[in-house]
Structure 1
Protein backbone atom coordinates (compact mmCIF):
# COMPACT_ATOMS: atom_id res chain seq x y z
CA UNK A 1 0.00 0.00 0.00
CA UNK A 2 1.70 3.19 -1.25
CA UNK A 3 5.06 1.40 -1.18
CA UNK A 4 4.70 -0.11 2.29
CA UNK A 5 4.22 -3.74 3.20
CA UNK A 6 0.93 -3.93 5.08
CA UNK A 7 -0.08 -6.86 7.26
CA UNK A 8 -3.79 -6.39 8.11
CA UNK A 9 -3.48 -9.06 10.82
CA UNK A 10 -1.00 -6.86 12.66
CA UNK A 11 -3.49 -3.98 12.71
CA UNK A 12 -6.31 -6.33 13.73
CA UNK A 13 -4.23 -7.62 16.66
CA UNK A 14 -3.65 -4.09 17.99
CA UNK A 15 -7.32 -3.16 17.52
CA UNK A 16 -8.37 -6.27 19.44
CA UNK A 17 -6.41 -4.98 22.46
CA UNK A 18 -8.71 -1.96 22.83
CA UNK A 19 -11.20 -2.63 25.64
CA UNK A 20 -14.17 -1.29 23.62
CA UNK A 21 -13.52 -3.47 20.55
CA UNK A 22 -15.32 -6.83 20.50
CA UNK A 23 -14.18 -7.83 16.98
CA UNK A 24 -12.12 -6.29 14.22
CA UNK A 25 -11.18 -7.01 10.63
CA UNK A 26 -8.78 -4.97 8.51
CA UNK A 27 -8.18 -5.14 4.79
CA UNK A 28 -6.79 -3.18 1.89
CA UNK A 29 -9.61 -2.10 -0.45
CA UNK A 30 -9.54 -0.58 -3.90
CA UNK A 31 -13.12 0.56 -4.45
CA UNK A 32 -11.94 3.21 -6.93
CA UNK A 33 -9.25 2.18 -9.43
CA UNK A 34 -5.83 3.29 -8.21
CA UNK A 35 -7.14 4.42 -4.81
CA UNK A 36 -6.18 1.70 -2.35
CA UNK A 37 -6.93 2.31 1.29
CA UNK A 38 -6.65 0.47 4.55
CA UNK A 39 -10.10 -0.08 6.05
CA UNK A 40 -10.90 -1.29 9.58
CA UNK A 41 -14.24 -2.97 10.34
CA UNK A 42 -15.01 -2.77 14.04
CA UNK A 43 -17.65 -4.24 16.31
CA UNK A 44 -17.77 -2.38 19.61
CA UNK A 45 -18.38 0.95 21.30
CA UNK A 46 -15.13 2.75 20.46
CA UNK A 47 -15.37 5.66 18.02
CA UNK A 48 -13.16 6.37 15.03
CA UNK A 49 -11.08 9.12 16.65
CA UNK A 50 -10.45 7.03 19.76
CA UNK A 51 -9.36 4.05 17.66
CA UNK A 52 -7.20 6.17 15.37
CA UNK A 53 -5.33 7.64 18.36
CA UNK A 54 -5.07 4.20 20.00
CA UNK A 55 -3.48 2.70 16.87
CA UNK A 56 -1.19 5.69 16.32
CA UNK A 57 0.44 5.01 19.70
CA UNK A 58 1.51 1.50 18.61
CA UNK A 59 1.74 1.50 14.82
CA UNK A 60 3.43 3.60 12.14
CA UNK A 61 1.21 6.11 10.34
CA UNK A 62 0.87 3.99 7.19
CA UNK A 63 -0.68 1.15 9.25
CA UNK A 64 -3.43 3.34 10.74
CA UNK A 65 -6.52 2.72 8.59
CA UNK A 66 -7.88 5.58 6.48
CA UNK A 67 -11.44 4.52 7.22
CA UNK A 68 -13.20 2.86 10.14
CA UNK A 69 -16.54 1.15 9.55
CA UNK A 70 -18.69 0.35 12.57
CA UNK A 71 -20.67 -2.88 12.30
CA UNK A 72 -23.10 -4.71 14.58
CA UNK A 73 -21.32 -7.96 13.73
CA UNK A 74 -18.73 -9.21 11.28
CA UNK A 75 -20.10 -11.36 8.44
CA UNK A 76 -19.19 -15.03 8.61
CA UNK A 77 -19.27 -17.79 6.01
CA UNK A 78 -21.16 -21.08 6.37
CA UNK A 79 -18.13 -22.63 8.09
CA UNK A 80 -18.04 -19.82 10.68
CA UNK A 81 -14.99 -17.96 9.36
CA UNK A 82 -14.86 -14.24 8.59
CA UNK A 83 -16.34 -13.59 5.13
CA UNK A 84 -14.10 -10.74 3.94
CA UNK A 85 -15.96 -10.48 0.61
CA UNK A 86 -19.18 -9.69 2.50
CA UNK A 87 -17.66 -6.67 4.27
CA UNK A 88 -19.38 -3.52 2.96
CA UNK A 89 -17.59 -0.81 1.02
CA UNK A 90 -16.91 2.17 3.28
CA UNK A 91 -19.03 5.26 2.85
CA UNK A 92 -18.27 8.83 3.81
CA UNK A 93 -19.65 9.85 7.17
CA UNK A 94 -23.40 10.28 7.03
CA UNK A 95 -23.45 13.43 9.12
CA UNK A 96 -24.79 15.46 6.19
CA UNK A 97 -22.93 17.60 3.71
CA UNK A 98 -22.06 21.10 4.94
CA UNK A 99 -21.17 23.53 2.16
CA UNK A 100 -18.12 25.78 2.64
CA UNK A 101 -19.09 29.20 3.99
CA UNK A 102 -15.96 31.29 3.51
CA UNK A 103 -13.54 31.82 0.64
CA UNK A 104 -10.86 29.97 2.62
CA UNK A 105 -13.16 26.96 3.15
CA UNK A 106 -14.17 26.97 -0.54
CA UNK A 107 -10.55 27.04 -1.69
CA UNK A 108 -9.51 24.29 0.73
CA UNK A 109 -12.53 22.14 -0.19
CA UNK A 110 -11.47 22.46 -3.83
CA UNK A 111 -7.91 21.39 -3.00
CA UNK A 112 -9.17 18.43 -0.97
CA UNK A 113 -11.54 17.36 -3.75
CA UNK A 114 -8.70 17.50 -6.28
CA UNK A 115 -6.13 15.66 -4.15
CA UNK A 116 -8.54 13.10 -2.67
CA UNK A 117 -10.47 12.47 -5.89
CA UNK A 118 -13.80 13.41 -4.32
CA UNK A 119 -16.75 14.85 -6.24
CA UNK A 120 -17.47 17.30 -3.45
CA UNK A 121 -16.06 18.01 -0.02
CA UNK A 122 -18.00 19.56 2.83
CA UNK A 123 -16.56 21.51 5.72
CA UNK A 124 -17.20 18.68 8.19
CA UNK A 125 -16.10 15.73 6.03
CA UNK A 126 -13.32 13.69 7.63
CA UNK A 127 -9.97 13.82 5.83
CA UNK A 128 -9.42 10.16 6.69
CA UNK A 129 -12.91 9.01 5.67
CA UNK A 130 -12.31 10.61 2.27
CA UNK A 131 -9.21 8.45 1.84
CA UNK A 132 -6.68 10.91 3.22
CA UNK A 133 -3.28 9.72 4.39
CA UNK A 134 0.14 11.20 5.10
CA UNK A 135 1.12 11.36 1.41
CA UNK A 136 -2.06 13.19 0.47
CA UNK A 137 -1.61 15.54 3.43
CA UNK A 138 1.73 16.51 1.89
CA UNK A 139 0.07 17.39 -1.43
CA UNK A 140 -2.71 19.35 0.31
CA UNK A 141 -0.28 21.29 2.51
CA UNK A 142 1.90 22.18 -0.50
CA UNK A 143 -1.04 23.41 -2.60
CA UNK A 144 -2.62 25.35 0.30
CA UNK A 145 0.73 26.87 1.31
CA UNK A 146 1.26 28.15 -2.24
CA UNK A 147 -2.32 29.46 -2.55
CA UNK A 148 -2.41 31.29 0.78
CA UNK A 149 1.32 32.15 0.93
CA UNK A 150 1.74 30.53 4.37
CA UNK A 151 3.79 27.64 5.74
CA UNK A 152 1.20 24.89 6.24
CA UNK A 153 2.62 21.48 7.17
CA UNK A 154 1.28 17.98 6.53
CA UNK A 155 0.94 17.67 10.32
CA UNK A 156 -1.44 20.66 10.26
CA UNK A 157 -3.63 18.84 7.72
CA UNK A 158 -3.60 15.59 9.70
CA UNK A 159 -4.39 17.38 12.97
CA UNK A 160 -7.22 19.46 11.50
CA UNK A 161 -9.13 16.48 10.02
CA UNK A 162 -11.84 18.72 8.47
CA UNK A 163 -11.87 21.60 6.00
CA UNK A 164 -13.43 23.86 8.66
CA UNK A 165 -10.63 23.18 11.16
CA UNK A 166 -7.94 23.54 8.50
CA UNK A 167 -9.48 26.85 7.37
CA UNK A 168 -9.11 28.15 10.93
CA UNK A 169 -5.46 27.08 10.95
CA UNK A 170 -4.83 28.77 7.59
CA UNK A 171 -6.59 31.97 8.71
CA UNK A 172 -4.51 32.02 11.92
CA UNK A 173 -1.32 31.60 9.87
CA UNK A 174 -2.35 34.40 7.48
CA UNK A 175 -3.16 36.70 10.42
CA UNK A 176 0.19 35.91 12.10
CA UNK A 177 2.01 36.70 8.86
CA UNK A 178 0.14 40.00 8.47
CA UNK A 179 0.96 40.95 12.07
CA UNK A 180 4.62 40.08 11.47
CA UNK A 181 4.73 42.24 8.34
CA UNK A 182 2.99 45.13 10.12
CA UNK A 183 5.55 44.94 12.94
CA UNK A 184 8.40 45.01 10.39
CA UNK A 185 6.93 48.11 8.73
CA UNK A 186 6.64 49.89 12.08
CA UNK A 187 10.31 49.30 12.97
Structure 2
Protein backbone atom coordinates (compact mmCIF):
# COMPACT_ATOMS: atom_id res chain seq x y z
CA UNK A 1 0.00 0.00 0.00
CA UNK A 2 1.16 3.50 -0.82
CA UNK A 3 -1.46 5.48 1.12
CA UNK A 4 -3.86 4.50 3.89
CA UNK A 5 -6.45 6.81 5.42
CA UNK A 6 -9.10 5.21 7.58
CA UNK A 7 -10.78 2.47 5.57
CA UNK A 8 -9.49 3.82 2.24
CA UNK A 9 -6.18 2.78 0.76
CA UNK A 10 -4.35 3.08 -2.54
CA UNK A 11 -1.63 0.94 -4.04
CA UNK A 12 1.28 2.65 -5.76
CA UNK A 13 -0.26 1.85 -9.15
CA UNK A 14 -3.66 3.29 -8.12
CA UNK A 15 -2.03 6.41 -6.67
CA UNK A 16 0.00 6.97 -9.83
CA UNK A 17 -2.97 6.41 -12.16
CA UNK A 18 -5.27 8.73 -10.18
CA UNK A 19 -2.59 11.42 -9.92
CA UNK A 20 -1.92 11.18 -13.67
CA UNK A 21 -5.63 11.53 -14.50
CA UNK A 22 -5.98 14.54 -12.23
CA UNK A 23 -2.75 16.06 -13.60
CA UNK A 24 -4.14 15.76 -17.13
CA UNK A 25 -7.33 17.52 -16.00
CA UNK A 26 -5.26 20.32 -14.42
CA UNK A 27 -3.15 20.70 -17.56
CA UNK A 28 -6.39 20.93 -19.54
CA UNK A 29 -7.45 23.80 -17.27
CA UNK A 30 -4.25 25.69 -18.04
CA UNK A 31 -1.95 24.60 -15.24
CA UNK A 32 1.60 25.11 -16.46
CA UNK A 33 4.99 25.04 -14.74
CA UNK A 34 4.86 27.22 -11.64
CA UNK A 35 1.08 27.78 -11.84
CA UNK A 36 -0.38 27.83 -8.36
CA UNK A 37 -3.14 25.34 -7.53
CA UNK A 38 -5.00 25.76 -4.24
CA UNK A 39 -5.95 22.56 -2.43
CA UNK A 40 -8.79 22.58 0.10
CA UNK A 41 -9.18 19.02 1.35
CA UNK A 42 -9.77 17.23 4.62
CA UNK A 43 -7.11 14.63 5.51
CA UNK A 44 -7.61 11.68 3.20
CA UNK A 45 -6.03 9.74 0.38
CA UNK A 46 -7.25 12.55 -1.89
CA UNK A 47 -4.68 14.93 -0.38
CA UNK A 48 -1.82 12.71 -1.54
CA UNK A 49 -3.37 12.24 -4.98
CA UNK A 50 -3.95 16.00 -5.30
CA UNK A 51 -0.45 17.04 -4.24
CA UNK A 52 1.18 14.51 -6.57
CA UNK A 53 -1.10 15.59 -9.44
CA UNK A 54 -0.22 19.26 -8.99
CA UNK A 55 3.47 18.39 -9.10
CA UNK A 56 3.03 16.15 -12.16
CA UNK A 57 1.25 19.03 -13.92
CA UNK A 58 4.22 21.26 -13.09
CA UNK A 59 2.21 23.40 -10.70
CA UNK A 60 2.80 24.69 -7.21
CA UNK A 61 0.70 23.20 -4.40
CA UNK A 62 -0.98 25.86 -2.22
CA UNK A 63 -2.55 24.18 0.81
CA UNK A 64 -5.66 25.71 2.36
CA UNK A 65 -6.66 24.62 5.85
CA UNK A 66 -10.34 23.61 5.88
CA UNK A 67 -10.52 24.76 9.53
CA UNK A 68 -9.30 28.31 8.98
CA UNK A 69 -11.73 31.20 8.54
CA UNK A 70 -13.20 31.51 5.04
CA UNK A 71 -11.81 35.03 4.69
CA UNK A 72 -8.28 33.74 5.21
CA UNK A 73 -8.70 31.06 2.53
CA UNK A 74 -10.19 33.59 0.13
CA UNK A 75 -7.25 35.95 0.74
CA UNK A 76 -4.68 33.19 0.12
CA UNK A 77 -6.48 32.08 -3.04
CA UNK A 78 -6.56 35.64 -4.38
CA UNK A 79 -3.06 36.59 -3.17
CA UNK A 80 -1.36 33.56 -4.72
CA UNK A 81 -3.20 33.94 -8.03
CA UNK A 82 -4.21 30.28 -7.96
CA UNK A 83 -5.42 29.11 -11.36
CA UNK A 84 -7.58 26.29 -9.91
CA UNK A 85 -8.99 25.04 -6.62
CA UNK A 86 -8.93 21.32 -5.84
CA UNK A 87 -11.49 20.38 -3.21
CA UNK A 88 -13.81 17.64 -2.04
CA UNK A 89 -16.61 20.13 -1.34
CA UNK A 90 -19.51 21.23 -3.49
CA UNK A 91 -19.14 24.87 -4.64
CA UNK A 92 -21.95 25.94 -2.30
CA UNK A 93 -20.08 24.40 0.66
CA UNK A 94 -16.80 26.25 0.08
CA UNK A 95 -17.89 29.37 1.95
CA UNK A 96 -15.81 31.98 0.10
CA UNK A 97 -15.55 33.53 -3.35
CA UNK A 98 -13.53 31.49 -5.83
CA UNK A 99 -12.49 33.14 -9.09
CA UNK A 100 -10.81 30.07 -10.55
CA UNK A 101 -12.05 26.71 -11.85
CA UNK A 102 -13.12 24.36 -9.06
CA UNK A 103 -12.06 20.73 -9.51
CA UNK A 104 -13.59 18.04 -7.36
CA UNK A 105 -10.56 16.01 -6.27
CA UNK A 106 -12.79 13.08 -5.35
CA UNK A 107 -13.98 12.57 -8.95
CA UNK A 108 -12.76 9.58 -10.95
CA UNK A 109 -11.57 11.45 -14.09
CA UNK A 110 -11.99 8.20 -16.02
CA UNK A 111 -12.05 10.20 -19.27
CA UNK A 112 -8.45 11.33 -18.69
CA UNK A 113 -5.45 9.14 -19.57
CA UNK A 114 -3.84 7.28 -16.67
CA UNK A 115 -0.43 7.44 -18.34
CA UNK A 116 2.19 10.05 -17.56
CA UNK A 117 1.19 13.70 -17.44
CA UNK A 118 2.27 15.78 -20.41
CA UNK A 119 4.87 17.81 -18.53
CA UNK A 120 6.37 14.86 -16.66
CA UNK A 121 8.35 12.37 -18.71
CA UNK A 122 8.20 8.75 -17.68
CA UNK A 123 5.51 9.11 -15.00
**TM-score for both structures, normalised by structure 2:** 0.29
Relative contact order: is structure 1 or structure 2 higher (C-alpha 8 Å, sep ≥ 6)?
Answer: 2
Structure with more of its chain in helix, by fraction: 1
**If each structure's strand is expressed as a fraction of its own residues, which one has the higher value?**
2
Query: Which structure: larger Rg?
Result: 1
